[in-house]
Chain A
């Protein structure tokens, strides 16, 4: 019991001393996660809307694949990106392995299906009536798309926040492709995993507290976005 209390005390000291290594980890985590969320959003929102509205061959198969990818274990995403980026892989020449860019790619692989799936679901449920309303009001294509985004705004925010939450909390993918290199690719989850194995609980607890606070903030946004509906 004692060492846990001791750990918390040390953790707060560390946070209040603005330890540059710890804060460097926070900043890198936010950078990687925000970048991957933004890139995933740019791909996933139009994609989810398109799948929700359009009829095309193999749509059912595509949706089943999408649902499978939504629950893809992070290590699998990490492994795939690792194989593609590794020296003998198809994109090995880019030498991205063990860089923040590789971590962003791995998280985009993980998060894009999640956002796409959620956006697809709400578009399937409400997209067609919104499109029909836009038509009866005399909207052009651009205006119809704007109405769709406006009407699905709470769902879209929820999808993006879920994606962010998934990205910031996973360890497996970023560990595989980032390698947890100190000062270069070490993020919050990978350092907690490492510190725990080394028995350095105070720093692990300090980072854990901040990660929990971020999760809390993210879930508050999610909760409020659901209230809007």
Chain B
């Protein structure tokens, strides 16, 4: 699902935190957004997902304005996902139940997700008792289970262990390659961007400074915001 953003603005408490003149996200690809803290990455994701309204500007999917129908094919996994107060299994089954799927289909799809994200052993645990990494994986499984056309991920692998990061990246590639979902993810990790994404977006101070093939983000780094962002990234 192609995303086209035009003149998108958002202000909080009189302070403009987002101002994106023009942005295009390619259909069927994995695109990564990087940028310093507070540069508006999460705000952009919320506006694209429709959970929040922009002050002005437009977001279009396949050149159409978003509608009830479009939302059904778009999902966002939050930086801190909200898990329903029930089992891991029921959390993952939830979007399927909303769509009126039958028992057999639910069980088949949820099993596939439990296996893909290696959550089988905690399927009966209450989702509120999960660790950070387990919770992120459960939220990703829940977002992928209904095979959305567009998957928005806000720092899905922040603060989790390498094994879980590996599993989640494998799952993200799976839904992109096997299901054809367009993936737009925010990451603070340049190596993850290079590993996972074919296109990249660099945000700074609420605007998109660079967009294009991932390689293009790493050209002309001298004395640019991207250059200093990367050098700071490698200090840690």
A129, closest chain B residue (CB):
B82
Q: How far is the CA of A130 from the CA of B72 in the complex (A)?
A: 17
Query: B167 at interface (Cβ–Cβ under 8 A)?
Result: no
A154, closest chain B residue (CB):
B85
- The answer to whether B51 and A138 have CB atoms under 8 Å apart is no
- The answer to whether B82 and A137 have CB atoms under 8 Å apart is no
With A143-B98, A147-B84, A151-B85 as given contacts, are A136 and B72 in contact (CB-CB < 8 Å)?
no
Chain B residues with Cβ under 8 A from A133's Cβ? 82, 84
Query: B232 at interface (Cβ–Cβ under 8 A)?
Result: no
With A132-B51, A143-B98 as given contacts, are A138 and B71 in contact (CB-CB < 8 Å)?
yes
**Chain A proximity of B63: nearest CB distance (Å):** 21
Interface string of B142-159 (1 = CB under 8 A from A): 110010000000000000
Q: How far is the CA of A129 from the CA of B98 in the complex (A)?
A: 18
Interface string of B51-74 (1 = CB under 8 A from A): 100000000000000001001111
Query: B182 at interface (Cβ–Cβ under 8 A)?
Result: no
Query: B229 at interface (Cβ–Cβ under 8 A)?
Result: no
Main secondary structure of the interface of B (DSSP, over half): mixed
A143, closest chain B residue (CB):
B98
Q: Interface residues of B, CB < 8 Å — how many?
A: 22
Chain B residues with Cβ under 8 A from A150's Cβ? 84-85
Chain A residues with Cβ under 8 A from B51's Cβ? 132, 135-136
Chain A residues with Cβ under 8 A from B76's Cβ? 136
Query: A140 at interface (Cβ–Cβ under 8 A)?
Result: yes
- The answer to whether B84 and A136 have CB atoms under 8 Å apart is no
Chain B contacts with A in 9-58, Cβ cutoff 8 A:
49-51
Main secondary structure of the interface of A (DSSP, over half): helix
- The answer to whether A138 and B72 have CB atoms under 8 Å apart is yes
- The answer to whether A136 and B85 have CB atoms under 8 Å apart is no
Chain A residues with Cβ under 8 A from B73's Cβ? 138
- The answer to whether A136 and B143 have CB atoms under 8 Å apart is yes
Chain A contacts with B in 124-154, Cβ cutoff 8 A:
129-130, 132-133, 135-140, 143, 147, 150-151
Interface string of B164-199 (1 = CB under 8 A from A): 000000000000000000000000000000000000
- From B71, B85, B99, B143, A135 is in contact (CB under 8 Å) with B71
Chain B residues with Cβ under 8 A from A132's Cβ? 51, 78, 82
**Chain A proximity of B61: nearest CB distance (Å):** 14
A130, closest chain B residue (CB):
B82
Q: How far is the CA of A132 from the CA of B82 in the complex (A)?
A: 9
Chain A residues with Cβ under 8 A from B85's Cβ? 150-151
Chain A residues with Cβ under 8 A from B98's Cβ? 137-139, 143
**Chain B proximity of A127: nearest CB distance (Å):** 11
Query: B75 at interface (Cβ–Cβ under 8 A)?
Result: yes
Chain B residues with Cβ under 8 A from A147's Cβ? 84
With A129-B82, A132-B51 as given contacts, are A137 and B94 in contact (CB-CB < 8 Å)?
yes
- The answer to whether B84 and A135 have CB atoms under 8 Å apart is no
- The answer to whether A135 and B50 have CB atoms under 8 Å apart is yes
Query: B225 at interface (Cβ–Cβ under 8 A)?
Result: no
Chain B residues with Cβ under 8 A from A137's Cβ? 75, 94-95, 98, 142
Interface string of A20-56 (1 = CB under 8 A from B): 0000000000000000000000000000000000000
- From B75, B77, B78, A138 is in contact (CB under 8 Å) with B75
A144, closest chain B residue (CB):
B98
- The answer to whether A136 and B75 have CB atoms under 8 Å apart is yes
Task: Select the residue from B50, B68, B71, B142 with max chain A CB neighbours within 10 A.
Answer: B71
Chain B residues with Cβ under 8 A from A136's Cβ? 49, 51, 74-78, 143
**Chain A proximity of B71: nearest CB distance (Å):** 6
Q: How far is the CA of A132 from the CA of B84 in the complex (A)?
A: 12
Chain A residues with Cβ under 8 A from B50's Cβ? 135
- Contacts A135-B51, A137-B95 aside, 6 further interface pairs with beta carbons under 8 A come to A132-B51, A132-B82, A135-B50, A138-B95, A138-B99, A150-B85
Give 25 pairs: A residue, B residue, CB < 8 Å, sorted on A: A129-B82, A132-B82, A133-B82, A133-B84, A135-B50, A136-B49, A136-B74, A136-B77, A136-B143, A137-B75, A137-B95, A137-B142, A138-B72, A138-B73, A138-B74, A138-B75, A138-B95, A138-B99, A139-B98, A140-B68, A143-B98, A150-B84, A150-B85, A151-B84, A151-B85
